Amino acid sequence: MTAEKKVVVSDVDLLVEIGVKEADLSHWQSRAYATVVTDKGQRTFQLKGPGFQTWLRLRFRESRGRTPSTAAVRTALTMLADLASVGEETPVWLRTASHGGCIYIDLGDESGCAIMIDETDWTLVPSPPVRFIRSKMTLPLPKPIRGGDLDAFRNLLNLQDEGSFQLLVTWCIAALMPAGPYPVLAIAGEQGAGKSLLARLLRDLIDPCRLRLRSLPSSERDLYIACSNTHVLSFDNLSKISDWLSDLLCKIATGGGIGLREMFSDDGEVYFEATKPIILTAIEDVVRRPDLADRAIVLTLPAIPENERIDPAEFEARFEACRPETLGALLDIMWLACRNLPGLKPDRLPRLAGFARLGIAVERTFGDPGCFMAAYDSNRAIASAIIAETDPLFAAVEAFHAGQSPWQGSATDLAKLLEAIIVPRKPINPAALGGRLRRLAPILRSRSISIDFDRVAKGRDRLITLSDLFTEA
């Protein structure tokens, strides 16, 4: 008789079997994920990340009594990623999500609970029907307390007026929403005005993170990697923002992506998409590009007198004491927004229409109807003034328009006229003038100056028209 040949099952096969049987495999935006049930609740991990690798090794050891080799784990993960790539994409969320008409906010603690906001109220749910991922940066939110208000939080803030507080709270509500666009929050002020402190408070209130504030990244790739690890991006102590980074911040605030070459591939590509709330702090006004200024809320903090300063440890204790009630009050306002937004029809909307609608939906929390747009218009005027002070072309166009309106001519003609006005004197490239004016157009409109670009019949010439926004025919 011939002895039966014994089938040897490799560690790779055993690891893959564990992954297939015990993990729910999925993919989202070129990445593979695994959702597993642990003794601490349901968890979703990036499949090739350290969290799932640890889970897989531990499950193997529990079932086989030994530890698999690193090579076997690596090969099994590649096979599981292939299996995860089959089928429809399943959304994976970081901190805040939407599903079935409800909003979910991950507490980020060991319980696995999330805050659910629907049309009737907000409440805590033990097992949200969405997949939240957490990075090494993620820290837990406190469990919110009902019946609180924003008074204790307001007393901690060094803001110039109630309009600034209204805009700040509305920004917080927007940042808790799962979809943007989000205004860039630019906080300026002299040394000791509490810029970094305010940024840390907002982080801890909305998206607690081990790295509360960071420096600006040096590349587009690094910025999108930061987007994949935290919901709120907070950059501290800026001295300037380069043109390429300003454009990138605009893209992330309103929604954008990046394609990168896949590792060990000649033509493969992976991509990241991100729309994130952004906080910037600086002593100077660093938001100087018109397109970024048009997406920003600019808060300038006043100096704090020495006799009004609070010991940092006492300040931290006061904030931690009011944080659960403050989060509860924000959720109350957020629920109000969700209830009012569907039937809201404003008379006018600025560039960030979604943020403006949100502010109008909750403005009765702060004052009479119209108070939000009054505060927002005032803040946008501040941003326009910063551009007027820092962009020589803006000042030259405004001065030229004041002398003759309306005006129509070619880019070459306008460049020559503006060269005589611009300070400091320097030549203006007519070919680049159109693009620069398009960037300035939203800010110029806030100063009642309209810019139009037209071709002459079927010719190649392009005419630029400057006119008064409210008196043009």
Residue 332's pLDDT is 96
pLDDT tens digit string along 88-147? 789 999 999 999 999 999 999 988 899 999 989 999 999 899 999 998 889 999 999 998
**Alpha carbon 228 to its chain's center:** 11
Residue 211's pLDDT is 85
Query: Model confidence at 390, in pLDDT bands (50, 70, 90)?
Result: confident
Residue 7's pLDDT is 53
**pLDDT tops 60 at residue 264:** no
Contact call for residues 83 and 131 (beta carbons, < 8 A): no
Residue 385's pLDDT is 81
Over 200-245, what HEC string results? HHHHHHHCCECCCCECCCCCHHHHHHHHCCCCCEEEEEECCCCHHH
Residue 76's pLDDT is 95
Q: What percent of the chain lies above the pLDDT cut of 90?
A: 46
Find the length of the chain: 473
Q: Which of 66, 65, 84 is nearest to 16 (CA)?
A: 84
Residue ranges of alpha helices (H) inside 207-284 are 220-227, 243-254
Q: Which residue has the higher pLDDT, 299 or 444?
A: 299
Q: Which residue has the higher pLDDT, 265 or 306?
A: 306
Ranges 72-86, 160-174, 424-438: which has the least confidence = 424-438
Q: Which residue has the higher pLDDT, 76 or 258?
A: 76
CA angle at 234 for the pair 94 and 325, rounded to the nearest 5°:
70
Residue 461's pLDDT is 65
pLDDT (mean) for 65-88? 91
Residue 267's pLDDT is 46
pLDDT (mean) for 5-13? 74
CA angle at 297 for the pair 439 and 471, rounded to the nearest 5°:
50
Residue 266's pLDDT is 45
**Rounded distance, CA 462 to CA 338, Å?**
46
Residues 6+ apart with CB under 8 A from 385: none
pLDDT tens digit string along 204-244? 999 999 988 888 888 888 888 888 889 999 999 888 888 88
pLDDT tens digit string along 26-60? 999 888 999 998 877 788 999 988 889 999 999 99
Strand partners, 124: 115
Query: Model confidence at 1, in pLDDT bands (50, 70, 90)?
Result: very low
Query: Model confidence at 152, in pLDDT bands (50, 70, 90)?
Result: very high
Residue 48's pLDDT is 87
Residue 271's pLDDT is 63
Contact call for residues 414 and 374 (beta carbons, < 8 A): no
User: Can you read off the two tokens belonging to residue 200?
Assistant: 């840390």
Residue 62's pLDDT is 93
Residue 265's pLDDT is 42
Contact call for residues 108 and 204 (beta carbons, < 8 A): no
**Rounded distance, CA 92 to CA 52, Å?**
15
**Rounded distance, CA 401 to CA 417, Å?**
11
Query: Model confidence at 472, in pLDDT bands (50, 70, 90)?
Result: very low
Sheet strands (E) in 60-183: 96-99, 102-106, 114-117, 122-125
Question: What is the per-residue DSSP string for 90-155?
Answer: ---BSSEEEETTEEEEE--STT--EEEE-SS-EEEESS-SS-BB--TTB-PPPPP-TT--SHHHHH
Residue 260's pLDDT is 59
**pLDDT tops 80 at residue 160:** yes
Question: What is the per-residue DSSP string for 359-400?
Answer: HHHTGGGTSSTTHHHHHHHHHHHHHHHHHHHH-HHHHHHHHH
Question: Mean pLDDT for the chain?
Answer: 87
Full-model pTM: 0.85
**pLDDT tops 90 at residue 454:** no
Q: What percent of the chain lies above the pLDDT cut of 70?
A: 92
Q: Which residue has the higher pLDDT, 446 or 318?
A: 318
Q: What is the residue whose two structure tokens read 């109350």?
A: 332
Q: What is the residue whose two structure tokens read 């924003």?
A: 150
Contact call for residues 469 and 448 (beta carbons, < 8 A): yes
DSSP state of 358: H
